[in-house]
Amino acid sequence: MHVTMTPIFAALLGLIFFFLSLRTSLERRRAKVSLGDGGDPGLQGAIRAHGNFIEYVPISLLLMAFLEMRAVSIYVVAVLGVMLVAGRCLHAIGISRANASFRFRQIGAVLSLLVLLIASLWLLYTYLI
């Protein structure tokens, strides 16, 4: 019931969140917009990358921690963590830049959703066996 892997991924994701937050603040300053997005495309992308991150990461980390508490292999949790970090990075790149590849956004979203699906189903499975 010892949680060893999830905190490492939480720390990595915390750093990513810090940079997304900083980027949103800098875009707000550049666009001179304190609330909303003011119709500025750069600020819109930064806000959505930041918001989308916070919409998916907390529940994913919680599921990963619960899996560790249920004594699921740390390798499973590590793979989920790598998928989540990669997914969130790719999604942020794909959504926050006007000239970025839509493909990055798609791959990032799929990886993040797979983490949610796999972790949720695996956690349910541990209670059903």
Mean pLDDT, consecutive 10-residue stretches, the chain (129 aa), reads 92 97 95 91 90 96 97 96 97 79 90 98 94
pLDDT at 121 (0 to 100): 98
- Domains located in the chain, CATH noted: 6-128 (1.20.120.550)
| Distance in angstroms (rounded) separating the CA atoms of residues 65 and 33 | 38
Angle, CA of 106, 26 and 97, to the nearest 5°: 25
pLDDT at 98 (0 to 100): 65
| pTM reported for the whole predicted model | 0.91
pLDDT at 125 (0 to 100): 96
H-type helices in the chain, by residue range? 6-31, 41-69, 74-96, 102-128
Angle, CA of 33, 37 and 40, to the nearest 5°: 90
| Residue in this structure with the two tokens 């495309």, named with its chain if needed | 41
